[in-house]
Each structure stands twice: as structure tokens, then as C-alpha cells.
Amino acid sequence: MNVIQKLFSKPKKAKVEFCQRNLEQFLQEENYAAYNEFLSHKNIAYKEFECQSKCKECRLSPYAIVNGDFVTAENSDELLKKMAEYID
């Protein structure tokens, strides 16, 4: 890649996918604003699916699929931190 392309290339959007049922189960109301702020960044594209067929994982803890990788945490606050670290 030449220097001009490196200097002026657009940063790739991070793809974040959620399971609606998992969010309903684990996302706490006090974290709504933090999630909204995180997901409103212009370098993040997110999508919420009704079900992602990961029922075993879904019952155990909050998760998201970030750029194709499965990211899980103990609670929704920790998941948000892990997603931010993963994207940075």
C-alpha cells in the first residue's frame, strides 16, 4: 500500500452483532446511556438479531459478536468495556 493510501484511508467500521434475547436478559437499564454512546460512534455498525442460535451461551452471560469474534463477559458493563477494548 502506498503512503497516500495509508494517510487517507478511511478507518474500517467495526461490526457488532447482538442477540435481542440476550440483551433483554442481561442489559441493565443503568447501562442504556453508555451503550447508546458507544454504538453511536461513526466507526461502529451494529445490528440486533432476534436470535443468533447460540442458546447455551445466551443463557449464561451477556455477549456480542464483534468483527466475527465471540465476546462474552460477566455482566453488561464488562461487555461494553471488552467491546471498546476489542475495537480500539
The structural domains of the chain, ordered by start, are 14-85 (3.40.30)
At 63-86, the pLDDT tens digits run 999 999 999 999 999 999 999 998
- Judged against a pLDDT cut of 60, whether residue 1 lies above it is answered with no
In eight-state DSSP terms, residue 9 is P
pLDDT, tens digit (0-9, with 9 covering 90-100), for 6-61: 666 666 789 999 999 999 999 999 999 999 999 999 999 999 999 999 999 999 99
- pTM comes to 0.83
Tell which residue, 75, 71, 50, has the closest CA to residue 84.
71
Q: What are the distances in angstroms from CA 21 to CA 5, 43, 53? A: 41, 25, 11
